[in-house]
Amino acid sequence: MKPLIIALALILAAPLPAYAGPRTPRDLRDLAHQQGIRIGTAVDVAALRGEADYRDRLNREFNHVTAENAMKWESVEPERGVYTWADADAVVHNAQRNRQRVRGHTLVWHNQLPAWLTSGVADGTIGADELREILRDHITTQVRRYKGKIRAWDVVNEVVEEDGSMRQSIWLTHLGPGYIADAFRWAHRADPHAKLYVNDFNLEWNAPKIETTLSLVKDLQARGVPIDGIGFQGHLGIQYDYPGDWANVMRRFADLGLEVAITELDVRMVMPVTEEKLATQADYYRRALTDCLSVEACQELTVWGFTDRHSWVPGWFAGEGSACLLDENLTPKPAYRALLGVRA
């Protein structure tokens, strides 16, 4: 036994190897697992069906998904009472097969409404009482269909103007501000376990919008309305300063007991692309994830599309683009590698 004891003593006396720190994640899904967060993307349903490389990358990289357009009102109910679920179902079914959770987007918005609804309100054939019934039926039907399959819903989207006033949508004009509380209550009744969110853009930095949204949340909570989360869209551009107080704004909402999510992150630039611009873009993506990870209540970071092949940006911002983590050929940019390097 003596040689064995000597060998054991030598082993115990040997210096331990230096700790190299956590390993670099293989991909975004691995990063999400390491950091205990959901990392998601908006899904282009046509690309999901028709592009194998897009589909493979989507399912390898992300553990959370949002239907980019397939769950919006004009998509699911283009004719009154006639629902077309095929695109939304495709997103949900693909997510279920690939261990991805789903954000439902969106139940109440002032855009992408079907023509039958907007024209009926405009010409007076749909009055206020009927409009309220239509809204209730739409929310109830959609949320019930996906009961248990949607982790979180963007119940109301972009309800505050840039000056801090409430958005003058057909909902506010014809139903009054109570439509927001109604929407949350109807959604909760249809799926009591789904997280229910307010979602908005420029909430990262716009002080009037921040204050109004905080007041809105407090008012809903005071009235016992079931609201669970706040969504910061995060549509950024490198020609503007990064919203340096973003983490503190997140904490103000978290202090109200809300779950926090970055729901639509992209970082556009004025074309053409340069290495310097890509480096700045990478820094913005890195800072967004770092801010989220610094706030315990921040549960999700979702990018609004992961490849420039299908980005919404060039169609909305003339002369701008290259906003996503991967280029048109699905080649990772510095921003992708910057995310993999983030540590909580």
Q: Which residues contact 236 (CB under 8 A, 6 or more apart)?
A: 204, 242, 243, 265, 266, 267, 268, 284, 288
Quote the pTM value: 0.93
Going from N- to C-terminal start, the domains of the chain cover: 27-340
Per-residue pLDDT tens digits for 102-157: 999 999 999 999 999 999 999 999 999 999 999 999 999 999 999 999 999 999 99
Q: Is the pLDDT of residue 9 over 80?
A: no
- Which residues are tagged catalytic? 264
Percent of the chain with pLDDT over 70: 94
Looking at residue 43, the DSSP 8-state letter turns out to be E
pLDDT of residue 92: 98
Per-residue pLDDT tens digits for 279-299: 999 999 999 999 999 999 999
Per-residue pLDDT tens digits for 33-63: 999 999 999 999 999 999 999 999 999 999 9
Q: Is the pLDDT of residue 322 over 80?
A: yes
CA atoms within 13 A on the CB side of 158: 16
pLDDT-derived band at 23 (thresholds 50, 70, 90) equals confident
Nearest Cα to Cα of residue 49 among 101, 91, 99, 84: 91
Q: How far is it, in rounded angstroms, from Cα 47 to Cα 166?
A: 36
Q: How far is it, in rounded angstroms, from Cα 161 to Cα 208?
A: 9
Q: Which fold has domain 27-340?
A: TIM Barrel (3.20.20)
In this structure, is the dihedral angle defined by the CA atoms of residues 106, 267, 210 and 194, taken in order, positive or negative? positive
> Rounded to the nearest 5°, which phi and psi values hold at 67?
-70, 120
pLDDT-derived band at 22 (thresholds 50, 70, 90) equals confident
